[in-house]
Copies of this chain bind each other. A is one copy, B any other.
Amino acid sequence: MQNCKTCIIRSKAVNTLNPKELNILMGSCAETTFSPRESIMKEGILSSHIAYLKSGLAMVSKKGSKGIDQVLKIVEPGNYVGLQTVLFEKVNQFSVMALEKSVVCFMDNQSFKELIKRNTEFANELLSFVCREELNYFERFVNTHQQNINGRMADLILHFSEKIYQSNNIEIPLTRGDMAALICSTRESVARSIRDFTQEGIIKVIGKQFNILKPEKLTEISKE
């Protein structure tokens, strides 16, 4: 059973809560485990809970005007999902899918709002969280259009290698199609980009297993 008081990976925001407030949180909190590829949240469905990724890895995506899903973000443990929606939208503005076996805490909308009103530190931490996230999107938005496919693909691999797994030998839990949706391309172009990198001896790939042999080359290519 979940216990927010002893939760190891609780957010900076939750750290600001006093015992009484923690009880409010715990009373409206439910923990669920998801298998890889399982849906955590679905775009268009009435939003009733905020999700907090306790462990695992997840992917946030959104449908565009042509109905094609685009990946907005890969979410790592210790992050909220759906904050943007919950505070004043009625339906979820995006979908969330588990990429690895993941544990998610669902918190009731109303109780969460109650905590924001009660505790300024809490609100402040959330504000800081959302702002930081937004700056990342700015960065991504601006760069995506100034990089070619190889550059974006290099960034993707580096992100998983350096930021998420901190290893040069990793398994990227995405299909080629997911990767395409993440870097705004197509599965064919992703495959070709991977082939290019492989032929130049920059990476070695077997299925989803990526071995990065020359990370410095990727950093270079990411500037293209």
Contact = CB atoms under 8 A, between A and B. Distances in A.
Interface residues of A, number: 47
B127 A70 contact: no
Nearest to A222: B65
A72 B116 contact: no
Interface in A128-145: 128, 130-135, 137-143, 145
A126 interface: yes
A89 B139 CA distance: 14
B135 A85 contact: yes
B146 A64 contact: yes
A139 B64 CA distance: 7
Interface stretch (A117-125, A161-169, A207-215): A117-125
How many subunits of this chain does the assembly comprise? 2
A138 B94 contact: yes
Interface string A55-79: 0000000111110101010000000
Nearest to A67: B146
A196 to B, nearest CB: 19
B130 A131 contact: yes
A11 interface: no
Nearest to A73: B138
A135 B84 contact: yes
Nearest to A84: B131
A186 to B, nearest CB: 11
Contacts of A26: none
A58 B68 CA distance: 32
B93 A135 contact: yes
A138 B130 CA distance: 13
A81 to B, nearest CB: 13
8 shortest A-B CB distances, which residue pairs? A64-B146, A123-B123, A64-B142, A84-B131, A66-B146, A70-B142, A145-B184, A62-B142
Interface of A: 62-66, 68, 70, 72, 83-85, 87-89, 93-94, 116-121, 123-124, 126-128, 130-135, 137-143, 145-147, 151, 184, 222-223
